[in-house]
Chain A
Amino acid sequence: MTLLSASQPPLTAEPPAPPIVSVQNLQMVFQVPGGQTVALQDANLNIQKGEFISLIGPSGCGKTTLLRLLADLVQPTGGQILIGGQSPATARQNRQYGYVFQAPALMEWRSVLANVMLPLEVMNVPGDRRARAREMLNLVGLSKFERNYPWQLSGGMQQRVSIARALAFDPPLLFMDEPFGALDEITREHLNLELLRLWRETGKTVIFVTHSIPEAVFLSTRVVVMTARPGKIEGIVDVDLPQPRSDDTRESPRFFEIATEIRELLKKGHA
């Protein structure tokens, strides 16, 4: 995996196993008054099962658009997406992914437990939904708060509830759109550690949108660097930091090297 560097085309170094997410020549053009906005141009990306992929770039680079395209929340104007060999719409219907939004988007009239049970109700998942939801809350360390309403929790705790909710129906993929963007630095670093633990324990494939370089480096196995106007993938950086990662990881020289590499790529796109 470390063979892959930013200067190479991203497809060449992929291992032979079929990717869980495959993006080919993806294009997204929005019609706006007086013309068009190219949100995404000629994006190519293959993601293997179990990877932790970050999409990083300035605002307007199409990273959120890419995630929304994968989730079938918008339809592409060109190119192809396959998720486990299926179209995004089919993958959505087959519960292939859980989505964590920028804001927790909890239902304020539901208790914490009932919020985590929501997807199970909608999808009519058989079995003990309450027990399943409790298991998820335990996973994110919020068992004690199952009876509380969302407004009684801090922002970080609310976002953990929304992660538990996304995992409730056990999808193989987890899409996360700047989930910690609105949180303070201390909470964010804490939740980064928690997220890595979750990732190790559940074996999910995570696609994570962020605009923080340290966050991307700390969390990811690979970082997809994107640039704006038009939105495109500038390069893909392998993060070969050892697992499991800890707070010490942030202090290692390799951490800074990789962060610098990403920063250079971002600058290159800006020039």
Chain B
Amino acid sequence: MTAAAPGARARRSPLLPMLAVAVVAVLLYLPLMVWANYGPAARSLASGADLGCPTALACATQLRNPVLPSPGQLAGGFGALSLPPTSPLSAPYNAVVTGGETLLGLALAVVVGLGLAVLLVASRSFERSTLPWLVASQTVPIVAIAPMLAVLLGQYGVQGFLPKAIIAAFIAFFPIAVGMSRGLRSPDALQLDLMHTYSASAGQTFRLLRFPASLPYLFTALKVAATAALVGSIVAEISTISFSGLGKMLAENSRASDTIALWIIMVYGAVLGVALVGLIGLIERVATPWKART
């Protein structure tokens, strides 16, 4: 009659394997970078352009608009784009704007997704009549719907930050609604019978059984929704009139063919995505402490 050792949480740090992957990526990246830039460099040299370097191989790491930037170029561009971080032109500032839009969008998506999930679970006929429309809403390309939504919202004086958040919410609510409705249905028949033997009301069954049972599903859905919302807010920034955000920076630099800046903005976007998912993971650990086994 002994219990399993409670809370055996010998978690190994993911840092070392992550570093190993990074080293492998860099090792693979260097030859790929030289190979990708060699052609353009050779053509430029052949056309008589003065690149300030003797051979195509040497020029491969210092083209102005490289196909793949060299590590040195990335480092230089990173400094130029990141400093000072409070400047409205810097990548960190714009990443915070995009991150804010994404978080607000996620919050909206949680409210809408939860409400929909409750309705989907409560009524089969609601599910049958609504689910196809929800699926259809997700097949519409966000690039097409974003400018239209922005115009529509603009007519009601909703501008700037909020339309992007709403567009982010538009694609983030779906995984939350689907995940939550699955979670709300996850209690097994015995648990539902048990609540019946207590003569529990529908509200009590929801609060004490269905909702807590659905939390792990909610967090899984939130991680999917967070990355979708991030893509949504960036696409919204690109395809509507924007004065800040990573999407606006991407649009500007792609018009200027500044590949180095584009690469760095992409890295910022990726880091933002990892940070968002990490944040959700953190909240998950606090909100579902019984899931301590990993």
Q: Give me the interface of A with B, judged by CB distance under 8 Å.
A: 71-73, 92-93, 95, 97-99, 101-103, 105, 107-110, 118-119, 121-123, 145, 148-149, 151-154, 156-157
B contact residues around A72 at 8 Å (CB)? 196-197
A105–B212 CB distance below 8 A: no
A99 with B194, Cβ < 8 A, contacts A118-B208, A148-B6, A152-B6 known: yes
Q: A154: which of B3, B196, B204, B209 is its contact (CB, 8 Å)?
A: B3
Contact status of A103 and B190, CB under 8 A, knowing A145-B3, A148-B6: yes
The B188-226 residues at the A interface (CB cut-off 8 A) are 188, 190-191, 193-200, 204, 208-209, 212-213, 215
Q: Which of A109, A122, A152, A156 contacts B212 (CB 8 A)?
A: A109
B18 within 8 A of partner (CB): no
A107/B209 in contact, CB under 8 A: yes
Across the interface, which residues of A come within 8 angstroms of B7, CB to CB? 152
Q: A93-B199, A122-B198, A157-B1 are in contact. Are A109 and B190 (CB under 8 A)?
A: no
| A contact residues around B215 at 8 Å (CB) | 109
Question: With A92-B199, A109-B213 known to touch, is A101 a contact of B288 (CB < 8 Å)?
Answer: no
List chain A residues, Cβ under 8 A from B198: 118-119, 122-123
* A152 to B190 Cα, complex, angstroms: 20
Q: Are B200 and A107 touching (Cβ within 8 A)?
A: no
Q: How far is the CA of A109 from the CA of B291 in the complex (A)?
A: 8
The answer to whether residues A121 and B208 also contact, given A97-B197, A148-B3 and a CB cut-off of 8 A, is yes
**Is B290 an interface residue, CB under 8 A from the partner?**
yes
Interface assignment of B10: CB less than 8 Å from any CB of chain A:
no
CB nearest neighbor in A for B201: A122
What's the least CB distance linking B209 to chain A, in Å?
A: 7
Contact residues in A for B293 (Cβ distance below 8 Å): 151
Contact of A108 with B193 in the complex, beta carbons under 8 Å: no
Task: Return B193 CB to nearest CB of chain A, in Å.
Answer: 6
CB of A142, distance to nearest CB on chain B (Å): 9
| Contact of B191 with A107 in the complex, beta carbons under 8 Å | yes
A160–chain B nearest beta-carbon distance, Å: 10
Interface of A is mostly: loop
Complex alpha-carbon distance, A29 and B14, angstroms:
58
Chain A residues with CB under 8 Å of B200's CB are: 122
When the two chains form their complex, are residues B3 and A105 in contact, meaning their CB atoms are under 8 A apart? no
Q: Does B16 contact A (CB under 8 A)?
A: no
Could you tell me the distance between the alpha carbons of A105 and B213 in the complex, rounded to whole angstroms? Answer: 12
Contacts of B292 in A (CB 8 A): 149
Q: Among the listed A71, A101, A145, A156, which residue makes an inter-chain contact with B190, where contact means beta carbons less than 8 Å apart? A: A101
**Do residues B204 and A122 form an inter-chain contact, with CB atoms below 8 A?**
yes
Task: State how many angstroms separate the Cβ of A237 from the closest Cβ of chain B.
Answer: 28
Contacting pair A149 B290 (CB below 8 A): yes
For A121, give the chain B residue with the smallest CB separation. Answer: B208
B4 at the binding interface (Cβ < 8 Å): yes
Min CB distance A176 to B, Å, is: 12
Chain B residues positioned under 8 Å from A122 (CB to CB): 195, 198-200, 204, 208
- Sample of 16 A–B contacts (CB below 8 Å): A73-B193, A73-B196, A95-B199, A98-B197, A101-B194, A107-B208, A107-B209, A107-B212, A109-B213, A110-B290, A118-B198, A122-B200, A122-B208, A151-B290, A152-B3, A154-B4
CB-nearest residue of chain B to A93: B199
Chain A nearest CB: distance from B294 CB in Å? 12
The reply to whether A92 and B197 contact each other, CB–CB distance below 8 Å, is yes
Contact (Cβ within 8 A) A102 B212: no
Assembled-state Cα–Cα distance A119/B196 (Å): 11
Closest CB pairs A-B (n = 5):
A105-B190, A122-B198, A99-B197, A101-B190, A109-B212
- Using CB atoms, name the residue of chain A closest to B2: A154
Note all chain A residues with C-beta closer than 8 A to B204: 122
Contacts of B3 in A (CB 8 A): 145, 148, 152-154, 157
